Structure 1
Amino acid sequence: MSLQAAHAAGLSEAAPAESGHVSLWQRCRRWMLPLLGVAVLGLLLSHAHKVDWAGAWQALQRYSPWLLLAVLGLCTASHVLYGCFDLVGRRHLRHRLPWWRTWAIAVTSYAFNLNLGSLVGGIAMRARLYARAGLDEATVAQIVGLSLTTNWLGYGLLAGGLFAAGVIEPPHQAHIRHGALRVLGVAMILLALGYVAACAVSRRREWVVKGRRLHLPSARIAVTQLALSAANWALMGSAMYLLLGQQVPYATTLSVLLAASIVGVITPIPAGLGVLEAVYLALLSGTVKQGALMGAVLAYRALYYLLPLAGGLVLYLFLERYAAEAEELTPPEAPVASA
């Protein structure tokens, strides 16, 4: 028996057990996330009558137009900065798509990602728009991977620093001790810095994963990723800080926002609907009046989620029309003459 045949036979024997474990995990994961979402929704609905909605409406009415304009400026700056994440991928991969089109695709997908979920916005929307622009699947996959890495690098650095510093006190319902949260924070910082260090000193610059070649960014690009992401999360925290009337220290405001963001990611609810509100109520209800707290969260949702979605829709229609016009102007390939 040849080595190839023996290898194939070994794979065939191990395949049933391995595929059984994989299929079992896939089935469990398929049901676990929706059940978690239903549980969260049920918990929110059961407490909805306890929320001071009248106080929230009054808080919204008390906001001055200048304050809302300032917050909208911060939210816009955050979305603009997020668009630069894909420009990092453009520089690293050296694809020939114009910078403005790359940026517009990233901003559009981010707006849809926030409101419709990562599968629709972060992946499907990007894949369609980049494919219409002429990029191949391997390049698109690396762009998406670099963008995700950029986003969570800054998150890990900021959240890790805040958790390690003990800025946020976990609620009793979380069943996590203060010391454990500090250890988690240190681990997050080391993971973010470890990525930068690996980009700087690693001798191996290329890996093959499922037939696709992945190139490790340079140290300069890694530092750029970290700086862009940290600045983006800081802008988001600044928007909430202003909406809360500066009643809560900025570090605490940012910590709660970071905690709400990760809960929103693991909970399969579009736009994290209700999750953001629940986390803020759980962590800040004893610091800020419930009406003012809910008013701030609702204003943040409108300015950071809903208004950019309208802008993202306009950009999406523009990109689709631009791609269609470009296809019409592209001359068809000449047929190959047969011998």
Structure 2
Amino acid sequence: MPPHPVEDVRHRGASHGPLTARDPIPAQARVHWGRWLSAAFGLAVMALLVWAARKIDWQEVLDALKQVPATALVAAGLLCVLSHLIYSSYDLVGRAWTGHTLPVRRVMLITFISYAFNLNLGSLVGGIAMRLRLYAREGLKHPVPTQVLALSLTTNWLGYGLLAGLLFLMGWLAPPPEWPVSASALRGLGALMLGVVATYLALCAFSPRRELRLRGHAMVLPGLRLALMQLLVSSANWLTMGVILYVLLQQGVPYGTTLAVLLVAAVAGVIAHVPAGLGVLEGVFVALLGPSLGHGQVLAALIAYRALYYLLPLALATVAYFMLEARSRR
């Protein structure tokens, strides 16, 4: 049986003692290169932010916000705060699993920053590179950050699989005739998703081996209690995101339909590899809800959603990120 993640961390951490004469790179040189790399990473982040800002029609954002009632905007804004708080707890599951001792508030801040950048700039920048970098800044040594990241990604898609599986299987989403996926195929996909979730839980509960290998990649399974916690927090986050859009759409369609369309749009954005899913989210919602609600109402709700859930958190995360960078340099 492979070692528990905590034992593995301690074993690997023992090799990171003081430098000796055998170290190929002197400490001063490593600090020098570390500063250059930090500056380069910071510049890359700024360049990506400028690129993302230039892609946004800010006047359109303001016009769309004016079309949504103030009460709906306030309610949606509060729900956005709740959703980001729930997502920020994803890495707390990894903290409990690996046994690292970073403070809870610091873990949640790192997760919030990476999630905001992930939403706007793509998973490679926010979900992976930035999260690993911030954890390394806090002193977590390999393989702890990658273990936390792997568990967080699994957490996100575990809740997705449960909710999408249930909604697709129950027929909450009626695909348009021109779509290549029929209603029966969508139900079959829902059943497959539920089967994957059930298999994961069964492996966490009963597998005698804690490590699985798939195409050369090792995956260490948590226990059933942590797996159920993964399912709970992820489902809560996806449900909250669905409520945000339901409120912004002014309850024009049933909540189950709104959530099902969001889940389809989420996976379409991942497949399209478009930063922030620009155009993909709107295209899916307009295709599925436009005929019943009108394209104008749907687009106004989605632009308001982007402003509240994507752009405002990105502004806060940018400030928090550079504050962490400045703190680590000090």
TM-score after normalising by structure 1:
0.76
Residue 66 (str. 1) matches residue 50 (str. 2): no
Does the aligned pair in 2 maintain the 1:57–1:291 contact within 8 Å? no
Q: Does 1:168 align with 2:167?
A: no
Instruction: Give the match for residue 274 of structure 2.
Output: 269
Given the alignment of the two structures, is residue 84 of structure 1 paired with residue 103 of structure 2, yes or no? Answer: no
User: 1: CA distance between counterparts of 2:194 and 2:90?
Assistant: 20
Which of 174, 190, 193 matches 1:185? 190
Q: Which amino acid aligns with 1:141?
A: T
Q: Does 1:259 align with 2:264?
A: yes
Report how far residue 309 of structure 1 moved.
0.3
CA contact (8 A) 1:161 1:189 kept: yes
Deviation at residue 212 of structure 1 after TM alignment: 8.7
- How far the C-alpha of 1:135 sits from its partner, in A, is 1.2
Q: Which residue of 1 aligns with 2:156?
A: 151
* Residues 155 and 233, structure 1, Cα contact 8 Å, conserved in 2: yes
Is the counterpart of residue 292 in structure 1 residue 281 in structure 2? no
Question: What corresponds to 1:250 in structure 2?
Answer: 255
Return the offset for 1:319.
1.8
2:293 is paired with a residue whose SS is coil
Asked which structure has the greater RCO (Cα within 8 Å, sep 6+), the reply is 1
The answer to whether the Cα contact below 8 Å between 1:57 and 1:295 also exists between their aligned partners in 2 is no
1:14-44 per-residue CA deviation (whole Å, 9 max, x = no partner) reads xxxxxxxxxxxxxxxxxxxxxxxxxxxxxxx
The runs of 5 or more residues in structure 2 that have no matched partner are 1-58
Q: Which amino acid aligns with 2:85?
A: V
Q: Matched residue of 1:286: which SS?
A: helix
Contact 2:64 2:303 in 1 (8 A): no
Q: Which amino acid aligns with 1:288?
A: L
- Indicate if the aligned counterparts of 2:211 and 2:218 stay in contact, CA closer than 8 A: yes
2:316 aligns to what? Answer: 311
Q: Is the 8 A contact 1:111 1:312 kept in 2?
A: yes
- Consecutive unaligned residues of structure 1, counting only runs of 5 or more, are 1-52, 326-339
Q: Quote the sequence identity (%).
A: 51
**Aligned 8 A contact 2:168 2:186 in 1:** yes
Preserved CA contact (<8 Å) 2:116 2:313: yes
Larger Rg: 1
4+ long deviations beyond 3 Å: 56-60, 206-215
Instruction: Give 1:57 shift.
Output: 7.6
CA distance in 2 between partners of 1:134 and 1:58 (Å): 45
Q: In the aligned structure 1, how far is the partner of 2:214 from the partner of 2:63?
A: 54
Are residue 122 (structure 1) and residue 127 (structure 2) matched?
yes
| TM-aligned CA deviation for residue 209 of structure 1 | 8.1
Native 8 Å contact 1:83 1:106 kept in 2: yes
Decide whether aligned partners of structure 1 residues 140 and 86 sit closer, same or farther in structure 2, where only a CA change above 3 A counts. Answer: same
Instruction: Output the CA distance in 1 between the equivalents of 2:68 and 2:208.
Output: 55
The 1:209–1:94 alpha-carbon spacing in structure 2 relative to 1, beyond 3 Å, is farther
Aligned 8 A contact 1:164 1:185 in 2 = yes
1:247-294 per-residue CA deviation (whole Å, 9 max, x = no partner) reads: 100000000011000001111211111111111111111110111111
Give the CA RMSD over aligned residues.
2.1
Partner of 1:282: 287
Of the three residues 113, 121, 126, the one matched with 2:118 is 113
What is the TM-score normalised by the length of structure 2? 0.78
**Deviation at residue 323 of structure 1 after TM alignment:** 2.1
